């Protein structure tokens, strides 16, 4: 098969997958239609102002100011298979648009997003849900999310820069209800201690790629505190790679 045809088919397949995945996520969180894909200035200008969900994973930074037209924006997708389009600079540009209804930004596999990007997002007071798998954040970002933000959902699985110290900070959050993290660098006792330290978490998912944990013991501990617990070998990052 011609190489160009293979590449075209691959791009089409990724587009279809992203649309289906976004639709499933929106269905799970009780939202409406899947996000409007916006890749360039022309698409942003042509889009209806009423859109409240947009996918801007490959929109150039110079076009971000145009997004201010979506005054009722609620959800943004920046995740991508490539993982190098979302940057701290783009997050700073988003934060400067003064969105007041924006509560969800998907940053899974955005490998260039660091603590500086999270610091910028802390200025979006309406933000509540942050999937951050595979980003370059560290414990410093965990401190920011705990002290300067009122997040109800955080997914920091597959973030090697986050240590037990960062997880302990997030565990004490008074607003965090849903929490997902990786346990590959933690012992069974440390995971149990984290579950016991949760301040407000009612839903927790632990990614255990090495299958070292006693999942039943962890679920029992969680059940004592009325926490819904899942322990699984894959997170969103592994699943993204699996389907591509």
Span 26-73, pLDDT tens digits: 444 444 568 999 999 999 999 999 999 999 999 999 999 999 999 999
Q: Set out the domains of the chain in order of their start, with CATH numbers.
A: 3-174 (3.80.10.10)
Angle (deg, nearest 10), helices 188-197 and 215-224: 20
3-state class (DSSP) for residue 105: strand
Residues 177 and 151 sit within 8 Å (Cβ to Cβ)? no
In tens, the pLDDT along 185-207 reads: 999 999 999 999 999 999 999 99
Average pLDDT over residues 225-244: 86
pLDDT tops 70 at residue 16 = no
In degrees, to the nearest 5, what angle opens at C-alpha 144 toward C-alphas 139 and 145? 95
In tens, the pLDDT along 66-107 reads: 999 999 999 999 999 999 999 999 999 999 999 999 999 999
pLDDT value at position 34? 86
């Amino acid at each position: 098969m011609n190489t160009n045809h293979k590449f075209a088919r691959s791009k089409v397949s990724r587009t279809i997958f992203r649309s289906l995945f976004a639709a499933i996520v929106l269905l799970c969180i009780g939202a409406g239609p899947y996000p409007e894909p916006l890749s360039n200035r022309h698409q942003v200008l042509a889009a209806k102002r009423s859109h409240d969900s947009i996918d801007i994973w490959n929109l150039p930074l110079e076009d971000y100011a145009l997004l201010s037209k979506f005054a009722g924006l609620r959800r943004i997708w920046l995740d991508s298979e490539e993982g190098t389009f979302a940057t701290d600079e783009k997050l700073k540009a988003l934060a400067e648009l003064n969105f007041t209804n924006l509560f969800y930004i998907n940053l899974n596999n955005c490998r260039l997003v660091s603590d500086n990007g999270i610091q910028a997002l802390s200025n979006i007071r309406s933000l509540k849900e942050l999937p951050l798998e595979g980003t370059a954040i560290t414990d410093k970002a965990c401190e920011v999310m705990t002290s300067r933000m009122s997040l109800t959902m955080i997914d920091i699985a597959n973030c090697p820069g986050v240590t037990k110290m960062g997880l302990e900070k997030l565990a004490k959050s008074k607003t965090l209800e849903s929490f997902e993290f990786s346990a590959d660098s933690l012992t069974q006792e440390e995971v149990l201690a984290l579950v016991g330290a949760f301040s407000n978490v009612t839903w927790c998912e632990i990614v255990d790629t090495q299958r070292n944990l006693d999942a039943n013991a962890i679920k029992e501990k969680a059940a004592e505190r009325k926490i819904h617990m899942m322990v699984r070998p894959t997170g969103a990052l592994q699943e993204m790679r699996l389907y591509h």
